Amino acid sequence: MNDSEIAEFECFQDGSWGSSRLPDVHVDRRDFLKLLGGGLIVCLTPHSAGAQESGRGFGRHELPKDVAAWLHIAADGKVKVFTGKVEVGQNIRTSLAQQVAEELRVPFDSITMLMGDTEFVPWDMGTFGSRTTPTMGPQLRTMAAAAREALMAMAADRWHVDAAKLTAADSRVIDPAAGHSLTYGELTRGQNLVKVVSGKVPLTPATGWKIAGTPMPKVGIRDFVTGKHKFPSDIVRPGMLFGAVLRPEGFNATLDSIDTSAAEKMPGVKVVRDGDFIGAVAPDVYTAQQAVAAIQAKWTVPEQPSNANLFKVLKTATEPGGGRREGHLTGSVEQAMATADLKLEERYTVQYIAHTPLEPRAAVAEWNGSNLTVWTGTQRPFGVRDELMEAFNLPESRVRVIQPDMGSGYGGKHTGEAAIEAARLAKAAGKPIKLIWTRREEFTWAYFRPAGLMEIRAGVHRDGRLVAWEHHNYNSGPSALETPYEVPNQIIQYHPVKSPLRQGSYRALAATANNFARESHMDGLAHAAGMDPLEFRLKNLTNPRMRAVLQAAAGRFGWSNARSTPTRGYGIACGTDKGGYVATCAEVEIDPAARKIHIRRVVEAWESGAVVNPNGIRNQIAGAIVQSIGGALFEAILFSNGRILNPHFAQYRLPRFADAPQIDVVLLDRKDLPSAGAGEIGIIGLAPAVGNAIFAATGTRLCNMPMSPSAAVPGEPASPLKC
Amino acid sequence: MSEFVLNVNGAPLHVNAPPQESLLFVLRNHLNLTGTKFGCGEGQCGACTVLINGRATRSCLIPASAVSNAKIVTIEGLDQNGKLTAVQQAFIDEEAMQCGYCTSGMILAATALLSKTPHPTDEQIVAAMNGNICRCGTYPRILAAIHRAAEARRGERAQLTGGAR
C-alpha cells in the first residue's frame, strides 16, 4: 500500500463516509485491515461459540463471517466503528457514536462511524422499524465495553496488577493507586490485536451516562451548512455521464411499438435498450432527458382501479385464507355488544400517500471490468446489493453498494430501482452514469404508503368501561392494530389485500392509520358517554407508560382548562408501537365562514426508555408532528387507470412553513428502561388529536384522511373543511 | 452547445453547455458545485435556491445561459476564509435540519430575506420561506435559526458602529 492510499483513508475521519474522496472502489478487506494500521480490532459475533476469544495478527486474517459490528482503535486513539446501519437524517451517526464513546470511555470526537458501505461494514438487514437504537445500540455498547475491558486487561498485564483495581477514562487506562496511566494508543502500539466478543459484557447503566444521554449536536453539521456534504446525488466520478429512463404511460403497460431513431441522432446521445428497459445517456442532463423525450413509444395501459372505487376494491380483494392474518379473538364481542349501554360503529379510511424525500432516488454506477460499484440513497445497502447481484448475475464479491448520508427516506428508499437503472446505463455506455429520478418519476415509479380501510365497532358500559372492541384493518397493515386499552372482549384482524398501487414501508407503517381510527373512535365514545376524552382514556388504561405520557401532555397543554368553541377546538390522542409511547394534544382554529382549519398549537409527550440524545429525539418528534400534518389534512395520491394524476409538488400539497404550529415536546426520560427507537412513532398522535379537536369544535367527525383536502378525493364524501 | 461565462461566488467560470440547460445542472454538473440541490425541477421546493444579484432564485427553472451577466452566489460562496455567515452559524446552533438536504436552499433564502428585512417577524419569515420545503419538518428550528441570525447580525452591526456613537 502506498502513502497516497493511506492518506485517502484518513479522509474517513471527517465523518463524510461515502464521499467521492473514497479510495479506489475495490479494496480487498484484508488490505483494508492493513491500511487501518496497528491497534485493536474488536468484533461482535452474536452467534459464535465460546464466551470470548482473542488473537493477534489481523493483517493475515479475514474477520469472522458472522460479525454484527466491529471497531478499530488506532495507535493515535482514534476509533472507527463499522456498522451496516445508515444515516438518513434520523441522527444515528451521532447517537450511536455517543453510546460507543460512553462505553469505551473516550472523547466523543475521537469516534468515526463508518456506515452503509457493503465492502467494509458487516451485513445488516437495513435501517428501518426503529431497530437501530434497541438492537444496534446495545451491540455497539457491548463491543465497546469489551474493548475497554481488553485494554484494561492489557494494562493490568503490563503493570502486574489486578485489572479490577484499574479505571478507564478519556482514552486512558488509569492505575489510581500507582498514580500513572497509559493511553489506549500506547497500550496497543506496534501490535495488531483482534478480540472477538460473543458473550454478554456488563454495560454502563443510563443513570451513569456522561456522553450518552446528552444533547450532542449532529456529527459533521458544518458540512451541511457549507454545501460540502456529499449526498448520493452529489457523487461525481471521472468520465461520468448522465442518464434518463423512458417510463411507460401507466402501470402494467405493455409496449406496442418504439422508434428511437430521432434520439439516436442527437449528438452525444447513446440510447440503451435491454429488454423492456429503455433509456439514454448523454454528457449532460438536459440532453439525456431530451433524448428520452424524443423516443416515440406506444403503450397499452389496461383498465385499473382509481380513488373512486379504492375502498370497494380493498374490501373485496382480500386474500381469502392465505397471506398473513395477524390478530386475535378474546372473549365474545357479540355477547358484550348485546349488553353494552353504548355502542359505536364507524369506518375510517386513509389514502395512498407518497414519501417524497426531498432528495429523489439517485444512483451513480461504475463498472470496473465485471466489478460494479453503486453509490445510492437507500435504507438497505445490502438489499440493493442483492438486487444488483440478481439483475446482473454477479457474485457478492463483485458488487459494492455505498450509501452516503442521504436526503432522507421515511421508509421510501428500501429498494434499488435507481441503482439497477444506473448500472444498466453504465454497462451499456462503458462510463460511470449518474441517474437522479425526476420528481414525477419519484411520485410515480416508487412505492406508496398503503391506503387502508379500518372498521371499528365498540361497546361501553354506562360507567365508562370498554366492554367490546372489534377492529378490522384492510390493506394498510397490522402495526399498532392491538388496542392498548383494557377490553375483555376483542376481535382484532388485519386483512391483507392485493393493492391496486405498489405500496411499501412508510415511517410508522400502519400505526398511523390504526391509531387514527382507534383514537378517533375512543373520542367518539367519550363524547357519547358524556365523559372528558382524557378521563375516558385513563379509565380504560392500566399501562403506566401510556398513562404517563397522556398526563404529561395534558398537563403541559392545559387540557383541564381547554374548552372548545365553534372556532377553536382542543383534541387529545395517544398511542404506542415499537417501544415508543406518545400522547398528543392539538389546538385547532376554525374559520366557519371560509371553512378553513389551521393547527395552532401541538403538545406531544414522548417516552421511549432511556434518552440517548435529547436533542435528536426532540428534533425527531417535532419533525414527525410537522410531517404528519400532510397525511392528516391534505396529502393524497390521486390515481386512475394506472396513472398518477398529481405527480408534482404543485398538485400534491406538503406541509410548509405556514402549516407548522407552535410545537412543545415533553420528553420523558426513563433511565430505568432500555432505549427504544424514536424516529417513527411520534408521527401517529397528530391526526387523531386534530380530528378530535375538529369534532370538539364542530360536532363533525372526520373519518377519512386526509381530513381537509383542498379538493375532494374521488370516492370520499367532501369534507366540510379545507386547508 | 454554447459557451459562456458565469460569475459564481465572485469568480468568472467558463461553461460549455446546451443553452437550455438549467443553472442548477450547470452549477452541479459542469462546475462541480454540488451544494445546490435538485428537489423537484419545478420551482416548487426551493432546494435549488441560489442568490442572483442578491435575490433568492430557483436555479432549476433558469437556463444558465440567461444569467451570464448576473452575480450568482451559491452555498459554497457564503463563508469567507472559513468564517461562516451569521445564518450558517445559526443553522448549526439551532441544529435546524435533520437530513440536511434542504439546508442549502433554506440558508440562501434566509440570507436574502435578512438582507432585505434585517429583523423579520414570524409572519415575514413564513411568507418569505414558504416556498422552501423541509420534508423532515424542521420549520420551527429554521424559524428560530433565522431569528438567531438576525440577532447576531444586529450584534455585529452594533460592534461596527459602536465607536461612532
Q: Do residues A692 and A523 lie in contact, with contact meaning Cβ atoms separated by under 8 Å?
A: yes
Interface of A with B in 226-245 (CB under 8 A): 226-231, 233-234, 236, 242
Q: What is the pLDDT of residues A10-43, one digit of tens each?
A: 222 222 333 323 333 444 555 666 667 778 888 8
Quick check: A52 pLDDT over 80? no
To 10 degrees, what angle do helices B103-116 and B139-162 make? 40
Instruction: Tell which of A436, A471, A502 closes a domain.
Output: A436
In this complex, do A358 and B39 lie within 8 Å of one another by their Cβ atoms?
yes
Quote the minimal CA–CA distance from B73 to chain A in Å.
12
In this complex, do B132 and A657 lie within 8 Å of one another by their Cβ atoms?
yes
Q: How many CB atoms lie within 10 A of CB A163?
A: 16
Nearest CA in chain B to A215: B95
pLDDT of residue A21: 30
Q: Evaluate whether residue A711 is within a structural domain.
A: no
Nearest CA in chain A to B84: A226
Tell me what the mean pLDDT of segment A304-321 comes to.
Answer: 88
Quick check: A276 pLDDT over 90? no
pLDDT of residue A31: 63
Nearest CA in chain A to B35: A227
Tell me, yes or no, whether A432 and A453 share the same domain. Answer: no
Quick check: A605 pLDDT over 90? yes
Q: Give how far Cα B95 sits from Cα of A97, A107, A224, A263, B63, Å.
A: 18, 21, 10, 46, 33
Q: Using 50, 70 and 90 to split pLDDT, how confident is the model at A689?
A: very high
Residue A399 phi, psi (nearest 5): -125, 130
Q: What's the ipTM? A: 0.97
Interface of A with B in 165-194 (CB under 8 A): none
Quick check: A442 pLDDT over 90? yes
pLDDT of residue A690: 98
In this complex, do B21 and A660 lie within 8 Å of one another by their Cβ atoms?
no
Nearest CA in chain A to B20: A286
Q: Evaluate whether residue A402 is within a structural domain.
A: yes
Pairing of strands A580-591, A568-577: antiparallel
pLDDT of residue B162: 66
Instruction: Copy the grid coordinates of residue B106.
Output: 433554506
In this complex, do B34 and A658 lie within 8 Å of one another by their Cβ atoms?
no
pLDDT of residue A15: 29
Name chain A contacts of B110, Cβ cutoff 8 Å. Answer: none
Tell me, yes or no, whether A407 and A502 share the same domain. Answer: no
Name chain B contacts of A405, Cβ cutoff 8 Å. Answer: 99-100
In this complex, do A286 and B45 lie within 8 Å of one another by their Cβ atoms?
no
Within chain B, which residues score under 50 in pLDDT? 163-165
pLDDT of residue B52: 98
pLDDT of residue A683: 98
Tell me, yes or no, whether A211 and A140 share the same domain. Answer: yes
Which domain range does residue A400 map to? 232-301+361-436
Tell me, yes or no, whether A557 and A688 share the same domain. Answer: yes
Q: Evaluate whether residue A481 is within a structural domain.
A: yes
Tell me what the mean pLDDT of segment A386-395 comes to.
Answer: 97
Tell me, yes or no, whether A194 and A265 share the same domain. Answer: no
Task: Give how many domains chain A has, as a whole number.
Answer: 3
In this complex, do A405 and B75 lie within 8 Å of one another by their Cβ atoms?
no
Quote the minimal CA–CA distance from A658 to chain B in Å.
6
pLDDT of residue A198: 77
In this complex, do A226 and B47 lie within 8 Å of one another by their Cβ atoms?
no
Q: Do residues B128 and B147 lie in contact, with contact meaning Cβ atoms separated by under 8 Å?
A: no
Q: Do residues A63 and A43 lie in contact, with contact meaning Cβ atoms separated by under 8 Å?
A: yes
Tell me, yes or no, whether A667 and A595 share the same domain. Answer: yes
Name chain A contacts of B22, Cβ cutoff 8 Å. Answer: 286
Polymer length of chain A: 723
In this complex, do B84 and A88 lie within 8 Å of one another by their Cβ atoms?
no
pLDDT of residue A51: 33
On average, the pLDDT of chain A sits at 91
Tell me, yes or no, whether A432 and A455 share the same domain. Answer: no
Tell me, yes or no, whether A31 and A164 share the same domain. Answer: yes
Q: Using 50, 70 and 90 to split pLDDT, how confident is the model at A188?
A: confident
> Which amino acid does the sequence have at B151?
E
Q: What is the pLDDT of residues A664-682, one digit of tens each?
A: 999 999 999 999 999 999 9
Task: Report the C-alpha gap between A6 and A2 in whole angstroms.
Answer: 7
Q: What is the pLDDT of residues A335-369, one digit of tens each?
A: 999 999 999 999 999 999 999 999 999 999 999 99
In this complex, do A406 and B99 lie within 8 Å of one another by their Cβ atoms?
yes
To 10 degrees, what angle do helices B122-129 and B139-162 make? 120
CA-nearest of A87, A12, A90, A620 to A405 is A87
**Residue A116 near chain B (CB below 8 Å):** no
Name chain B contacts of A615, Cβ cutoff 8 Å. Answer: 95
Residues contacting residue A446 through CB under 8 Å, at least 6 positions apart: A354, A355, A361, A412, A417, A437, A502
Burial class (CB in 10 A: 0-12, 13-18, 19+), A365: buried
pLDDT of residue A175: 98
pLDDT of residue A199: 75
What's the CATH code of the domain at A456? 3.30.365.10
Q: Do residues A708 and A591 lie in contact, with contact meaning Cβ atoms separated by under 8 Å?
A: no
Nearest CB neighbour to B102, from listed A222, A358, A436: A358
Nearest CB neighbour to A231, from listed B101, B140, B143: B101
Instruction: Copy the grid coordinates of residue A56.
Output: 493477534
In this complex, do A439 and B40 lie within 8 Å of one another by their Cβ atoms?
yes
In this complex, do B140 and A660 lie within 8 Å of one another by their Cβ atoms?
yes
Tell me, yes or no, whether A80 and A180 share the same domain. Answer: yes
Tell me, yes or no, whether A181 and A240 share the same domain. Answer: no
Instruction: Tell which of A372, A402, A436 closes a domain.
Output: A436
pLDDT of residue B7: 98
Buried b / exposed e across A219-238, counting CB within 10 Å, b at 16+? bbbbbbbbbbbbbbbbbebe
Name chain B contacts of A658, Cβ cutoff 8 Å. Answer: 126, 130
pLDDT of residue A427: 98
Which CATH number describes the domain made up of B86-162?
A: 1.10.150.120
Q: What is the pLDDT of residues A568-579, one digit of tens each?
A: 999 999 999 999
pLDDT of residue A40: 86
Q: Using 50, 70 and 90 to split pLDDT, how confident is the model at A320?
A: low
In this complex, do B137 and A233 lie within 8 Å of one another by their Cβ atoms?
no
Name chain B contacts of A233, Cβ cutoff 8 Å. Answer: 34, 37-38
In this complex, do A225 and B88 lie within 8 Å of one another by their Cβ atoms?
yes
Task: Report the C-alpha gap between A473 and A479 in whole angstroms.
Answer: 10
CATH among 3.90.1150.10, 3.10.20.30, 3.60.9.10, 3.40.50.300 for B2-77: 3.10.20.30
Buried b / exposed e across B112-138, counting CB within 10 Å, b at 16+? bbbeeeeebeeeebbebbebbbbbbbb
Q: Using 50, 70 and 90 to split pLDDT, how confident is the model at A189?
A: confident
Tell me, yes or no, whether A530 and A430 share the same domain. Answer: no
Interface of A with B in 293-322 (CB under 8 A): none
Residues contacting residue A19 through CB under 8 Å, at least 6 positions apart: A11, A230, A235, A404
Compute the count of residue pairs across chains A and B with CB atoms less than 8 Å apart. 176
Q: From start to end of A141-295, where are the E strands?
A: 167-169, 172-175, 180-183, 192-197, 241-245, 254-259, 270-274, 277-282
Tell me what the mean pLDDT of segment A60-76 comes to.
Answer: 70
Q: Do residues A94 and A216 lie in contact, with contact meaning Cβ atoms separated by under 8 Å?
A: yes
Query: Can you give the residue ranges of every domain in chain B?
Result: 2-77, 86-162
Q: What is the pLDDT of residues A639-651, one digit of tens each?
A: 999 999 999 999 9
On average, the pLDDT of chain B sits at 96
**Residue A50 near chain B (CB below 8 Å):** no
Instruction: Tell which of A192, A225, A258 closes a domain.
Output: A225
Nearest CA in chain A to B128: A657
Q: What is the pLDDT of residues A414-429, one digit of tens each?
A: 999 999 999 999 999 9
Percent of chain A whose pLDDT exceeds 90: 83
Lowest-confidence region among A42-56, A321-335, A658-672, A694-708: A42-56
Tell me, yes or no, whether A277 and A328 share the same domain. Answer: no
Burial class (CB in 10 A: 0-12, 13-18, 19+), A288: buried
Q: What is the pLDDT of residues A212-250, one digit of tens each?
A: 999 999 999 999 999 999 999 999 999 999 999 999 999
Q: Evaluate whether residue A312 is within a structural domain.
A: no
